């Protein structure tokens, strides 16, 4: 692996790491994201309601949504990687000619 690819992999991992950790921390909190502190403090064990079990279809829908989201992210990273490789190849071959200056005139 070249040094550039290592740097890109490291930066990608550093960019995605906090997102994954934040999601797992939020999912583990019992109060949920929108519960104010005063509401969480006032609950007693007798007042807490038990969440109803979700039907299998709803659980499957959530799983499919998460799978499609991750698949989309992976495909986008793959496309960006292809574009970067192509740009490197064009640069190495010297196919980037001198840039043309824009024409001068009244219509331009």
Per-residue pLDDT of 38-88, as tens digits, reads 555 555 656 667 777 778 888 888 889 999 999 999 999 999 999 999 999
pTM of the model: 0.42
pLDDT digits (tens, 9 = 90+) for 50-61: 777 778 888 888
Q: Give how far the C-alpha of residue 49 lies from the chain's centroid of Cα atoms, to the nearest Å.
A: 34
Phi-psi region of 100 (alpha: psi -120 to 50; beta: other; left: phi over 0): beta
* Residue 95 structure tokens: 């196919």
- What is the residue whose two structure tokens read 């109060």? 31
């Amino acid at each position: 692996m070249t040094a550039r690819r290592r740097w890109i992999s490291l930066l990608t991992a550093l960019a995605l790491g906090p997102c994954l950790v934040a999601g797992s921390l939020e999912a583990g909190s019992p109060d949920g994201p929108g519960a104010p502190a005063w509401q969480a403090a006032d609950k007693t064990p007798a007042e807490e309601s038990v969440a109803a079990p979700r039907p299998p279809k709803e659980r499957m829908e959530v799983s499919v949504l998460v799978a499609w989201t991750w698949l989309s992210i992976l495909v986008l990273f793959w496309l960006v990687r292809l574009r970067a490789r192509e740009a490197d190849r064009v640069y190495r071959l010297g196919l980037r000619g001198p840039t043309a200056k824009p024409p001068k005139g009244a219509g331009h």
